[in-house]
Amino acid sequence: MLSKIEIQNLSKKFVLADNKTNIQVLENFSFSLKNNEILGIIGPSGCGKTTLLYIIAGFIPYETGRVSYDGEPITAPSAKRTVMFQEYGLFPWMSVEGNIEFGLKAKGIPADERREITRHFIELVHLKGFEDKHPYQLSGGMKQRVGIARALASNPEVVLMDEPFASLDSLTREIMQEEILKIWGETNKALLFITHNIEEAIFLSDRVLIMSARPGKLKEIVPIDLEKPRLSEIKRGNSQFLKLKDYISQSLREETLKGIDQMGIKLTKVLGSIKMEKEGKNGKNN
Amino acid sequence: MIKKSLKGLSVIFAVLIIWQLGSYFKLVNPFIMPPPLEIIKSFFSMLLKGPLLADIYSSIRRVFVGFTCAFLIAVPLGIVLGWNKSLSQYFLPAIEFIRPIPPIAWIPLAILWFGVSDLSSYFITTIASFFPIFVNSFVGAESVEKVHINAALSLGASRGRVITKVLFPSALPFVLTGMRIGLGVAWMSVIAAELIAAQSGLGYMIQLHRMLLETHKVIAGMISIGIIGLAMNLFMLYLERKLVPWVKK
C-alpha cells in the first residue's frame, strides 16, 4: 500500500460553550497522503485546516469517518508524525540543542548518538554557533529553523506543518521554502502542510488540496507536475507555474467569496438583531 | 540606577539627621524614641559581642525548616492539582477554606500541640509559606500552554516526561514567585511566633528587651529583622533572574 495517511468521510463538529450551538467544521472529508509525498492544503480562513491537521496529529478526537495511519486508526499523537506549529511551539526553557534533542531523549536514544544526530540537524538548518541560545534570543526565521530541526530530528515518517512560514518576511520565507525542498529531497519523508499562500503551496507541493469554505469540504486536488529540484525563479518566469497559480487562485476565490458571504449573512443577522434590540429599547423609553 | 538610589537614600538620611537633632535638643523622649546613633551603636555591639547572631541564626533556621517542608509538599501538590482538573475538585474547597486563616492565628493551636518549642515555630513557618507556594504552583501548572503539551506528545514524550520536562518548567516561574512570597510571609510569621512561643530568635529578643525597657535594643532588633527580610527577597529575585531567564519582566 502506498498511502501513509488515509482519511475517509471524516466529519467534525465543535460544540460551543453554551452546549447548544454546533459548528460543523469538517464535512465528509476524504483524501490520502502517499509515501514521500508533499501535500499542501489551502483554503479560506476558518475552513477547518488546523482542525484537520490536529486530527491527523492525534491531538483532537473526531466523531465520524475514518482516519488511519499505515492502516491503523489514529487515536493519539505519535512520534511517527511530528508537528511544526504555527508559532513554532518551541520550549522556551530549553536551548536550541535541548529543543532539537527532546524527541531523541523521549525515544531513549543513547547520549553519543543523540549528540551526533542533534549536531547533524543543527548544521542542516544552519544554526551552528547557536546551540546554547534560548528561543527568546532568536529571530523568527531562526526559531522556524529550530522548529524544522526539532520536527525532523526524531526521524518521523511524516511531518505536519501548520502555516510554517506565516510569520516570516517574504525573503526569509522564500529561502526557507527552498531549504525545505532541499531537506525533503535528502530525507525521504512525507510532508503535509497548511498555507494561505498560493505560490508557496505550488512551489513546495506534489499536490495541492483546495478546501471549501466552512464547513470544510474537499473542493479539489490539483497535481503539481513541475520538475524537481525547483528554484524560486519559477515563481516569476515559469509559464506552467503561472498557469497553476491562476487556476488555484480562481478556485480559491470562489470559496473565499462564499466564506465572506457566510460571514456577511451572519453580520447582517447580528446587526439586524442589534438594531431590533435598540428599537425595542427606544420603544420602551417612549 | 545610582541616581535613583541617591534619591531614596537622601530622604532616609534627612529623617535620621532630624531625628538625631531632635534627640540632641531633647525634643523627643529618648525612652520612647532613642536617637539613631545610640540604636546603631547597640546594633553593632550586640552583633559583635552580644547574642544577636545566635538569635538571627535561630530565626533563620526556623524559617528554613518550615519553608523547606512547605516547599516539598506545596510544589508537587500544586502542580498535580493544577494539571488534574477532576482531582483538584476534591481538594481545592478544603484548601480554600483553610487559606484565609492568617498564619499567626495558628499560634495558639501550635502551642497547645507542640508547646513552647522549635516545633511550634516550624509548624507556623510551614503553614505560612505553604499557601503562597501552593497557589502559585497551581496557577503555574494550570497556565501551561497547550501547544507545548501537544509538541511534546507528538515528539513521543510519555506522560511522566510531559510532567517533568514541560509542565514543571512551565510552572517554574510561578513557583519561584510563590517561593519569594512564601519566604516573606514565613519570615514575618516566625517573628510573630517567637514573640509568644519561643525562648530564642529575633522575635523573642525584641520582646525580652521590651520587658527590660531597652527601647534602643528593641529597635536594633527590628532593624535586623528588616535587613534580613530585604536580603531574602533580593536573593529570591536574583534566583528568579538566574533560573527563568526566558520570562520577560
Q: Which of B147, B157, B246 sits opposite A85 (nearest CB)?
A: B147
Nearest residue of chain A to residue B153 (CA atoms): A77
Q: Where are the domains of chain A?
A: 3-80+156-285
**Is A61 in the B-facing interface, judged by CB distances under 8 Å?**
no
Whole-number pLDDT of residue B237: 94
CATH code at A3-80+156-285:
3.40.50.300
Contact with chain A for residue B248, Cβ under 8 A: yes
DSSP per-residue letters across chain A: --EEEEEEEEEEEEE-TTSS-EEEEEEEEEEEEETT-EEEEE--TTSSHHHHHHHHHTSS--SEEEEEETTEEP-S--TTEEEEBTTB---TTS-HHHHHTHHHHHHT--HHHHHHHHHHHHHHTT-TT-TT--GGGS-HHHHHHHHHHHHHHT--SEEEEESTTTTS-HHHHHHHHHHHHHHHHHH--EEEEEES-HHHHHHH-SEEEEEPSSSB-EEEEEE----SS--TTHHHH-HHHHHHHHHHHHHHHHHHHHHHHHHHHHHHHHHHHHHHHHHHHHHHH-
Q: In the beta sheet, which residues pair with residue A191?
A: A38, A159
CB A265 within 8 A of CB A259: no
Select the residue of A83, A91, A136 nearest B154 (Cβ to Cβ): A83
B167-B171-B173-B178 Cα dihedral, nearest 10 degrees: -150
Q: Tens digits of per-residue pLDDT, B206-242? A: 999 999 999 999 999 999 999 999 999 999 999 999 9
What pLDDT is attached to residue A175? 84
Q: Compare all CA atoms of chain B with the CA of A90 and give the residue at the minimum distance.
A: B148
Question: What does the alpha-carbon distance between residue B234 and residue A46 come to, in Å, rounded to a whole number?
Answer: 48
**Would you say residue B244 has pLDDT above 70?**
yes
State whether B151 and A92 contact (CB < 8 Å).
Answer: no
Prediction pTM value: 0.81
Mean pLDDT, chain B, integer: 92
Domains and CATH numbers, chain B: 42-243 (1.10.3720.10)
Dump pLDDT digits (tens) for A40-56: 999 888 788 899 999 99
Share of chain A above pLDDT 90, in %: 48
> B153 to chain A: which residues are within 8 Å by CB?
58-59, 76-77
- For residue B243, the distance in angstroms to the closest alpha carbon of chain A comes to 9
For residue range A3-44, list pLDDT tens digits in order: 889 999 998 888 877 777 788 888 888 999 998 899 999 988
* Residue A286 predicted with pLDDT over 50: no
Please judge whether B154 and A59 are an interchain contact, meaning their C-beta atoms are less than 8 angstroms apart.
yes
